[in-house]
Structure 1
Amino acid sequence: MLRISLRDGEALIINGALLRASGRTDLIVENQAALLRGREIMTPEEADTPAKQLYFACMMAYIGEDSEKHRDSIIDALRLLMPTLDDIAAKAACVAFANHVAVGDYYKGLAQCRALIAHEQAANSNTVAA
């Protein structure tokens, strides 16, 4: 059982369906479901870097009905991202991500992607500062 509290207007995806709270809402999920809260949801327009494209592809595999059809997008995004990484920790996060995806644990893959996005943002801010 999972208890979720949503603020007024907050989005939630459950098994691919986008829901939006009207007023403060408490939900109890009593069985297995693919869930993403508002801060975890990414729009296609927000996927504007290689790490974000990887996150978006993984998110679609997680919430979509046919995760297999999204695997090609995940592989393509990994191919774009890997050459941009110079940090061994970021490459290790990619390997961990690939391991999660290989066994179908897309939610844990999303957590690895958030770390990759943070690394990408830090690397970009260092490039801009230099």
Structure 2
Amino acid sequence: MPFKLSLDPGEKFAINGAVVVNGDRRAVLMVENQAAVLRDSDVIREDEARTPATRLYFVCMLSYLDADAADSHYPRFSEHMDAFMEVVENPRVRLICAQISLAMMNREYYRALSGCRELIEYETLILGGADDGQRLQSRA
């Protein structure tokens, strides 16, 4: 089933790790095969990953955009997840963490990203909205 991507003028997106910029008009693209696609608003740079949940998101994002190198990112993911789980007691959040870990083990990186968005939302609530993942929260 094709994936339809509607783009605003100048909007950026990543497809399989390559950054693409739309021209000066609105465009609709159809991706016919399996590809890792993320809008610019869903991409974070490493220096923006300053909270535990955004660090997890960043590593999952790297795995999603470059699945061939995902195994090299897993130790870092595991380290960040262990640190996150050490301080979280909420059973619902711990379940989300387990689901993210399972998705990463099953190479379901987009599913892991979706779970990380939930963690960012939780973290935002706990921190009173003062985290750097705020722009991702609106997409969760």
Give yes or no for TM over 0.5: yes
Give unpaired runs (5+ residues) of structure 1: none
Counterpart of 2:15 in structure 1: which amino acid? Answer: I
1:119 equivalenced with 2:122 (yes/no): yes
The alignment partner of 1:19 has SS state of strand
Q: Which of the numbers 28, 32, 35 marks the counterpart of 2:34?
A: 32
Query: How many Å apart are 1:39 and its aligned residue?
Result: 2.0
Matches of 1:36 and 1:21, distance apart in 2: 13
Counterpart of 1:87 in structure 2: which amino acid? Answer: N
Query: How many Å apart are 1:84 and its aligned residue?
Result: 2.5
The alignment partner of 2:61 has SS state of helix
Counterpart of 1:8 in structure 2: which amino acid? Answer: P
Which runs of at least 4 in structure 1 moved beyond 6 Å after TM superposition?
none
Give matches, 1:88-99, under 5 Å.
88-99=91-102
Q: String of CA shifts for 1:61-95, please: whole Å, max 9, x gaps.
A: 11024111111111111022112212111111000
Q: Which of the numbers 53, 56, 67 marks the counterpart of 1:54?
A: 56
The more displaced of 51-60 and 9-18 is 9-18
Matches of 1:119 and 1:85, distance apart in 2: 11
Q: Which of the numbers 42, 45, 61 marks the counterpart of 2:44?
A: 42
Question: Which structure ranks higher in relative contact order (CA pairs < 8 Å, sequence separation ≥ 6)?
Answer: 2
Q: Residue 14 of structure 2 aligns with which residue?
A: 13
Q: String of CA shifts for 1:33-85, please: whole Å, max 9, x gaps.
A: 11111221111121010110000000001102411111111111102211221
Give unpaired runs (5+ residues) of structure 2: 130-140
Q: Size of the alignment, in residue pairs? A: 126
Report the RMSD for the aligned CA atoms in angstroms.
1.3
TM-score (norm 1): 0.91
Q: Residue 101 of structure 1 aligns with which residue?
A: 104
- Give the % identical residues: 32
Matches of 1:110 and 1:68, distance apart in 2: 16
Counterpart of 1:18 in structure 2: which amino acid? Answer: V
